[in-house]
Structure 1
Amino acid sequence: MGLTPEQLLFLLRGFGWTIVLSLLAFAGGAALGFVLALTRVYAPRPLRVLAMLYIQLIQGTPLLILLFLTYFGLPALGLVVDPLLAAAIGLSTYVSAYLGEIWRGCLEAVPRTQEEAAACLALNWRQRLIHVILPQALKIATPPTVGFMVQIIKNTSLASTIGFVELVRAGQMINNSTFRPFVVFVMIAALYFALCYPLSAWSQRLERRFDVAHR
Structure 2
Amino acid sequence: MDWSVIYEYRYLLWNGFIVTCKLSITAILLGTLAGIAVSMARTSRIAWLKIPLTAYVQLFRGSPLLIQLFMFYFGLSYIGVNIDIFKATALVFTLYAGAYISEIIRAGIESIPKGQFEAAKALGFSYVLLMFRIVLPQTLKVSLPPLIGFNLTLIKDSSIASVVGYAELLHQGKTIMNMSGKPFEVLLFISLIYFVICYPLSMFVAWMERRIYIR
- Same fold, judged at TM 0.5 (above): yes
1:135–1:26 distance in 2 versus 1, CA, 3 Å: same
**Structure 1, 161-170 or 139-148: larger mean CA deviation:** 139-148
Give the Cα separation in 1 of the matches to 2:121 and 2:45: 18
Give the Cα separation in 1 of the matches to 2:63 and 2:15: 30
**Structure 1, 124-133 or 9-18: larger mean CA deviation:** 124-133
Q: Percent of pairs identical after alignment?
A: 36
Verify the 8 A CA contact 2:61 2:96 in the aligned structure 1: yes
Give the Cα separation in 2 of the matches to 1:123 and 1:35: 18
**Structure 1, 198-207 or 176-185: larger mean CA deviation:** 198-207
**Which of residues 175, 178, 183 in structure 2 aligns to 1:176?**
178
**Which of residues 131, 134, 147 in structure 1 aligns to 2:133?**
131
Runs of 4+ in 1 over 3 A off after TM superposition: none
Structure 2 gaps of 5+ residues are none
Deviations 1:132-169 (A, max 9, x none): 11111111111111111101101100100010110100
Give the Cα separation in 2 of the matches to 1:116 and 1:136: 16
The equivalent of 2:91 in structure 1 is 89
The alignment's TM-score, normalised by the length of structure 1, stands at 0.93
Verify the 8 A CA contact 1:14 1:170 in the aligned structure 2: yes
The equivalent of 2:31 in structure 1 is 29
- Is 1:48 the counterpart of 2:50 in the alignment? yes
The alignment's TM-score, normalised by the length of structure 2, stands at 0.93
Give the Cα separation in 2 of the matches to 1:125 and 1:51: 18
Structure 1 gaps of 5+ residues are none
1:161–1:48 distance in 2 versus 1, CA, 3 Å: same
Verify the 8 A CA contact 2:6 2:186 in the aligned structure 1: no
* Cα drift, residue 120 of structure 1: 3.0
**Which of residues 118, 121, 126 in structure 1 aligns to 2:120?**
118
Deviations 1:97-116 (A, max 9, x none): 10111111011111111112
- Is 1:57 the counterpart of 2:59 in the alignment? yes
Give the Cα separation in 2 of the matches to 1:16 and 1:143: 25
Q: Secondary structure at the match of 2:9?
A: helix
Verify the 8 A CA contact 1:149 1:199 in the aligned structure 2: no
